[in-house]
């Protein structure tokens, strides 16, 4: 149901359909809030002796246009909107598009197959789940089914000091246009490893005014979650890199970029892939792996999980533990120490 204004009318009109019958008339009100209440009462009156649901639910494909329009109109981050568009692109290649909404179940969703990793599958399933919930809100189906996601393997790679050295060697072999690109790549790599900041949401959006030089702190003012708003300490090399980047500036983007509409750097993905290929490192290694390495190093050297959670902006222990990669050398040492007590002395 929607209320709208005609071009030559000062009144708000309502427009809705029940059982294939369209109801479109003026509310006689110039106040939108009162007009919406009148339209709601009219809809309730029409539905009083019948089911407001359509007799035949539309197909997934038929409702997709309205769904994508609602995604674009919603107060979502641009990346979230792109996520649902990507999810629909994956869904549109399957037979589920021709299925009526009321016939979509978790069992049906479980038979869908998508190219790529489990993350791709979950992108499509999350999109389908949101589409069905919107269809419920729009009274196209009685109740949206519970769509279960598939298990995603946690990232197991660390962008440690060895990987950093290899990436820098690989970057030096890349035929980039200017030395400044190599310098910027090096700066990003150091900052990502020593701050544990999320690269796109936090690192690239740093501002000079959020750097506290005396306390050697970075204030993360915008993040993926509320707990992500935090202070991150500067290591010695982070301090040196930031001083080089900022100079005498007292405001503005740390990674200012005239090419970007946002005014700041938004990605280093292409350059990272080129350096990774030259270095002969696995494709699963991404810049975000530096965040895993950060959590592991801090935990190893402090033994304080709460401190790690605070530095990384986590509130859930389970989430924080995904980033930890305890060294097997510790286990080996413990076993050797215990074995020495029972082994006979060597001849």
Per-residue pLDDT of the chain (347 residues; tens, 9 = 90+): 778 888 888 888 888 877 667 788 888 888 888 888 888 888 877 776 555 555 688 999 999 999 999 999 998 888 889 999 999 999 999 999 999 999 999 999 999 998 877 888 999 999 999 999 999 999 899 889 999 998 876 556 789 999 999 999 999 999 898 889 999 999 999 999 999 998 888 999 999 999 999 999 999 998 777 778 899 999 999 999 999 999 999 999 999 998 888 899 999 999 999 999 999 999 889 998 998 888 888 888 887 878 888 888 876 666 656 555 555 555 556 666 766 655 555 54
What's the pLDDT score for residue 21?
74
Burial (CB count within 10 angstroms: exposed 0-12, middle 13-18, buried 19+), residue 343: exposed
What's the pLDDT score for residue 50?
55
* Cβ neighbours for 263, distance < 8 A, ≥ 6 positions apart: 253, 256, 257
Using an 8 Å Cβ cutoff, are 85 and 130 in contact? no
Collapsing DSSP to helix, strand or coil, 218 comes out as strand
User: How much is the pTM?
Assistant: 0.60
Burial (CB count within 10 angstroms: exposed 0-12, middle 13-18, buried 19+), residue 72: exposed
What's the pLDDT score for residue 244?
95
What's the pLDDT score for residue 153?
61
Closest by CA to 190, choosing from 229, 161, 233, 218, is 161
| Topology classification of domain 161-326 | hpI Integrase; Chain A (1.10.443)
Q: How many CB atoms lie within 10 A of CB 261?
A: 7
Closest by CA to 204, choosing from 287, 272, 265, is 265
CA gap 292, 159 in Å, rounded: 8
What's the pLDDT score for residue 347?
44
CA gap 113, 92 in Å, rounded: 12
């Amino acid at each position: 149901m929607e209320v709208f204004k005609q071009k030559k009318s000062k009144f708000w009109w309502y427009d809705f359909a029940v059982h294939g019958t369209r109801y479109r008339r003026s509310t006689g009100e110039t106040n939108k809030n009162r007009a919406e209440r009148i339209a709601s009462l009219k809809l309730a009156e029409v539905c009083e002796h019948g089911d407001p649901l359509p007799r035949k639910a539309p197909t997934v494909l038929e409702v997709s246009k309205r769904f994508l329009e609602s995604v674009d109109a919603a107060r979502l981050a641009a990346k979230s909107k792109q996520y649902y568009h990507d999810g629909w692109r994956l869904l549109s290649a399957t037979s589920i598009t021709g299925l009526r909404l009321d016939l979509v179940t978790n069992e049906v969703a479980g038979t869908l197959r998508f190219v790529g990793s489990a993350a791709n599958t979950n992108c499509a399933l999350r999109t389908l789940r949101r589409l069905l919930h919107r269809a419920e809100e729009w009274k196209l189906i009685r109740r949206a089914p519970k769509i279960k996601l598939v298990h995603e393997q946690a990232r197991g790679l660390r962008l440690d000091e060895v990987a950093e050295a290899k990436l820098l060697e690989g970057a030096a072999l890349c035929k980039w246009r200017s030395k400044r690109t190599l310098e910027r790549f090096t700066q990003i790599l150091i900052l990502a490893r020593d701050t544990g900041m999320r690269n796109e949401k936090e690192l690239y959006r740093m501002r000079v005014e959020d750097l506290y030089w005396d306390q050697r702190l970075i204030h993360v003012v915008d993040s993926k979650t509320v707990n992500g708003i935090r202070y991150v300490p500067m290591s010695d090399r982070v301090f040196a890199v930031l001083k080089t980047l900022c100079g005498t500036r007292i405001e503005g983007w740390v990674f200012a970029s005239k090419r970007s509409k946002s005014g700041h750097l938004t990605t280093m993905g292409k350059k990272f892939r080129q350096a990774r290929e030259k270095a002969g490192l696995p494709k699963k290694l991404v810049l975000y792996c530096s965040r895993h390495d950060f959590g592991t190093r801090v935990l190893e050297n402090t033994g304080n999980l709460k401190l790690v959670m605070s530095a990384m902006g986590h509130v859930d222990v389970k989430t924080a533990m995904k980033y930890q990669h305890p060294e097997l050398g510790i286990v080996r040492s413990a076993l050797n120490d215990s074995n020495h007590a029972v082994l006979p002395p060597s001849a």
